[in-house]
Amino acid sequence: MMSDTPAVGASGADADPGAAPARPRRRHRLLIGALFILATILGIAAVEAVWVNRQALNTDNWTSTSSKLLANKEIQTAVAAYAVNQLFSSGVPQAELKSVLPTKLQPLAGPVSSGLEQLASQLAPRVLATSQVQTAWREANRAAHAQLVKIINGGGKLASTKGGVVTLDLHAVVTQLAASLGVEQQVSSALAALQANAGKVKAGAAQLGVALPASSGQLVVLRSDQLGTAQDIGADIKGFALVLPLLTFVLFGLAVWLSRGRRRTALRLTGWCFVGVGLFTLLNRRIAGNAVVDALVKNADYRSAAHQAWAIGSTLLYDIATAVVVYGLVIVAAAWLAGHTRPATALRRALAPTLRDRAAAAYIAVYIMLLLVIVWGPTPATRQLPYIVGFIVLLGLGVHALGRQTAREFPDAQAGDPARSARAWYSDRRPPPPVTATTIAAGRRGERLAELERLAELHDRGSLTDDEFAAQKATVMSDS
């Protein structure tokens, strides 16, 4: 044991003094890198969680999206097929036709009804594009989604009286379809050759859009046995949409704070991480969305409509991802402004007098620009109060930090320095005027005048006699 002690001491004495802190510094860098990686991963998950929360649990967003879905031509065709099926599967058209046909022609009610169904399938997409049907569709989706959110948030009268069943009531759409197709005229034309009493046929067929069963067009969205699961999922979505973004910001902020001496670089890396999160989300929306649609929709005839539905349904995700990219670029620009490049330094020098002498004007200008962005509302965050408050705080901190930096760098900077520097720079790089015979002659005249003035001064002081002055003057005047 005694022999081990010198060895330990010798090893410690022989060690490189600079090697001791190397390992902690390396661990420090690894920790910061791990924070950036974890924050980026959580950022991707946060974007998805915010999108699902806003799209699935916000009635206004859901109603807007569903309205855009029905406005799409390919989706109109798919919905029209469902509505026509609901209309004719009720049996009302065939029953009405059978009731007005003579006894011998009543067996033709089925074929005629089938023919009308084919005709309705062709006309229905145009009917669905009308404002009446679009309004009925929008209101049906709004009512169903409001019921769904009410149940997920804890129930209420709906959960107790209807057993937690949520339905999308498209009865108004089906009824409007029947009333708008002009079915009575088509029935009259189709049966004109089958019977002489066309008036009775028209009178019976006119009832096709009136006596539909109340259950037609009822799509069950949620049943009572699914209530607990839906509430759990809704609570999880809300929790993730709140916690994940907050945790992402905390991790990025911690990584920047730990990067002492390199915080500007860390801030710039944070911006690029934001850009990466947004671009990954956009790419994932395109690739993964197409893969999911192709896997779920086996019938190739409906895939185009399904892809259109995904594109419209994920529009909000596209908006959020694009906003994240923009925010990332803003952070990168802020880091660049604090950097050591010539343009950034010149810009800080130009801003230094204002930030030092008129700081209030700088804050007012920045917040006016923020107000214009809020009025414009290009991203979802610029239309929500919590995010607006966050922007106000961050901009205030940014202006304050920039003011402190410029005060250290340019304590003597004055207003107008950039303009003077620009003029000097331009003058230094301005080409000299071209040399011509005129300029040469003018230069020589100037030299002669200067020499004569010098000789006259010497003569006045008595350094030159009259004869010497006359001789020197004659020599100067004789030079060409």
All structural domains of the chain with their residue ranges:
58-222, 437-478
* Residue 120 predicted with pLDDT over 60: yes
**Would you give the end-to-end CA distance of the chain in angstroms?**
104
**What is d(CA 76, CA 83) in angstroms, rounded to the nearest whole number?**
10
**What is d(CA 79, CA 66) in angstroms, rounded to the nearest whole number?**
12
CB 367 within 8 A of CB 373: no
Give the pLDDT of residue 6.
45
Confidence of residue 90 (pLDDT cuts 50, 70, 90): low
105: tokens are 């022609």
Say which residue, 135 or 275, is predicted with more confidence: 275
- Separation in Å, CA 461 to CA 61, 352, 458, 477: 98, 55, 5, 22
* Residue 172 predicted with pLDDT over 70: no
Q: Which residues pair with 218 in a beta bridge?
A: 169
Short-list 457, 16, 29, 10, CA closest to 258:
29
Q: Which of 82-91, 139-148, 162-171, 283-292 has the lowest mean pLDDT?
A: 162-171
Residue 169 backbone dihedrals phi, psi, to 5 degrees = -85, 100
Say which residue, 457 or 477, is predicted with more confidence: 457
Give the pLDDT of residue 426.
66
What rounded mean pLDDT belongs to the chain? 76
Mean pLDDT: which of 119-123, 171-175, 202-206 is highest? 119-123
CB 99 within 8 A of CB 32: no
CA gyration radius, the chain:
41
pTM of the complete model: 0.66
Confidence of residue 32 (pLDDT cuts 50, 70, 90): very high
Confidence of residue 247 (pLDDT cuts 50, 70, 90): very high
Residue 163 backbone dihedrals phi, psi, to 5 degrees = 65, 25
